[in-house]
Chain A
Amino acid sequence: MKRWENGKYIELTAAEVKEIQQRAALAAAEEAKAAAEIATCQTQIEQLRQKAKERRISVDDLNDLVLAVLGDTINVRDVLSER
């Protein structure tokens, strides 16, 4: 692997390679976490939607929904728009 600096392609040092590998691992973990959060949120939304269609929404469901919208646990808007 190489990097470019002021006109020269420079072979990476072992330390630089290690830093890149750590960065990649961290990014992959963050991406996996975000994907899991999105999946969880989508599941919850679908469950609520189904309950609403069946007229089975409970007070607890409404409480969860309010907290989700207000951001106490999951901020629906932000999670859904996260890329």
Chain B
Amino acid sequence: MKREIQAGFLPPSALEWTRANYGISALSVHERAISMLRAQAQNPPSLKLAVNGGVYSYRGRMRLFLSGVSPEFSPPASGTRLDILYLDGESGELAIVEGDAAVAITDPLELPDVPEVAIPLAAVYLGEDQETITEADLYDLRSFLGDSHAPVTLGTFNNASLNGQELNYSLPDHAHQGSGADGGQIEAANLKSAGAMAGRVLTADGYLGCSWELARCVLINSVVLSSPTSGVTFSSISNAYSDLLLTAVVRSSKSTVSDGLWIRFNADTGSNYDSRVTTFLTSYTSGVNRAGTWGWVGYGETAASTSNAFSPVRVHIFSYTSALWKTWWSETWERRTAAANDDLIQRVSAGTWKSTSAVTSVTLLWQNGSNFVADCRFYLWGLR
């Protein structure tokens, strides 16, 4: 037998609705907006709160909370504290998470973290040895427009192709719904090949069901150098992406201004690189390197630059797994000592590595054989 939702402290007879008029929704529109899941001070006040009944959405399922009284709050022995009363979406029980001691009322409120299953209802401002909670102590935390359940990752592909593959996945505990195993399988017949799929992520949420993550940028590897280093190499690069993006902030140990920044793929030192670097100062100049044993990325700050000046670097490597010759496009920036206009230099480079092999390693090095100083940072991203 269904039970009707009680509207706050008002007896059912005082409400304007009747089941005949409003069906099984127990509250009028106004009552629903104002009262559902509202936490209020008890009358007479105590260290517990009364919570109205209401409907809530939890992981895609609508649930009914029949109203109830919270556990008792424990005011701090000294100072103040902001606690949170929440509804456990999974169990349907009311619970409290205590905040930090001596918290101040700020904007935004410094609230404690709540469990993933929590639907926050109210923050309660508690003072030293407080004996009762009144309405003045409450801050409404109810969210009126849906919940914020993040998508759940079901699994990540380890295979380069979906043809004939089956997706085995395991559900995290918090994603488990209803009965059944925590693992599952999507039949091969339901999967369609879409090119390189390794590393792609399948997610599910309570509203939209399963979906493939859209185009994204994945951090493959990174380093912040702790000591001077002659070269930086990212190797064993997965073929799961369409392009590679190498970003860095660099500085050379060279004593005079500007050091050429070079790139090599797959440790190839043959004469297989054609590249051009164009330098923009007040005027501009452009240099080429045909059949070089390295590719031009640009130039970087050196020991002759102002302390803490590092050059940003961005290298986009296109279609790195294809059988085409590989191309890159890059940019760098220097400000040296900024003593003159022409100390501020922007460089744009592009080039071709004349190889049909997939790029599996990328190395950055300095033209002058100098070191990347400590604190240089390098990030290799996969794009798809």
Task: Using CB atoms and an 8 Å cutoff, list the residues of chain A in contact with chain B.
Answer: 1-7, 9, 12, 16, 19-24, 27-28, 31, 77-78, 81-83
Contact = CB atoms under 8 A, between A and B. Distances in A.
B235 interface: yes
Interface stretch (B18-26, B134-142, B280-288, B308-316): B280-288
Contact of B230 (A3, A27, A28): A3
A83 B279 contact: yes
B227 A23 contact: no
Contact of B229 (A7, A9, A19, A28): A9
B227 A20 contact: no
B101 interface: no
B233 A4 contact: yes
Given A77-B283, A81-B284, A83-B281, A4 B231 contact: yes
A82 to B, nearest CB: 6
A22 B368 CA distance: 9
Interface string B246-289: 00000000001110100000000100000000010101110000
A31 B371 CA distance: 18
Scoring B233, B235, B236 by chain A CB atoms within 10 A of each residue's CB, the highest score goes to B233
B221 interface: yes
12 contacts: A1-B230, A3-B230, A5-B232, A6-B221, A6-B233, A6-B234, A19-B269, A20-B230, A23-B367, A27-B367, A83-B285, A83-B342
Contacts of A24: 368-370
Nearest to B294: A23
Q: Which 9 A-B pairs have the closest CB atoms?
A: A24-B369, A20-B369, A5-B233, A27-B368, A81-B285, A23-B369, A3-B231, A4-B229, A81-B283
Nearest to B229: A4
A3 B234 CA distance: 11
B175 interface: no
Contacts of B188: none
B328 to A, nearest CB: 20
B225 A4 contact: yes
B229 A3 contact: yes
Scoring B231, B232, B283 by chain A CB atoms within 10 A of each residue's CB, the highest score goes to B231
